[in-house]
Amino acid sequence: MQIRISTRHGDISDATQEKITAKVEKLTRLFDRLSEITVTIDLERRDLPAVDLRVAAEHKHDFVAAAQSEDLMAAVDVVLRKLEQQLRKYKEKIQGRHRNSSGKQEVDVEVEAEAESLE
């Protein structure tokens, strides 16, 4: 998995980049099929930095979240929460499909058996 951090209209320190990288790496705990994470920090307005987070996953479109806050790390936290929510929802949706597909076949068999017993 690749993690890219880029800035517009300014630079951030190496320590800040390491903190952001450490926080972003935690996304792999939620969904292990992530292939690339791109963090874009816009420092055009120093008092209100904007953070854009894009995550590319295997067999799925990109997940995207953006936020602005008075503090850079607060904006990163908000963006991470948004993306975690998207990943959880997607993962539940996938797991639900797999569970329902096998359960649906069992229900259909039971309904057919009841219909035959009524005849």
For residue range 52-110, what is the model confidence (pLDDT) as tens digits? 999 998 877 789 999 999 999 999 999 999 999 999 998 888 888 766 665 454 445 55
In a domain, 96, yes or no: no
Q: What is the pLDDT averaged over residues 44-48?
A: 90
pTM (predicted TM-score): 0.75
What's 55's domain CATH number? 3.30.160.100
Q: What is the pLDDT of residue 114?
A: 54
Torsion of CA 101, 107, 109, 111, to 10 degrees: -150
In a domain, 91, yes or no: no
DSSP character string of 52-94: EEEEEETTSPPEEEEEE-SSHHHHHHHHHHHHHHHHHHHHHHH
In this structure, are residues 64 and 31 in contact, taking their beta carbons and an 8 Å threshold? no
Q: What is the pLDDT of residue 119?
A: 53
> Domain tally for the chain?
1
Residue span of the structural domain in which 8 resides:
2-84
Please tell me what DSSP assigns to residue 10: S
In a domain, 54, yes or no: yes
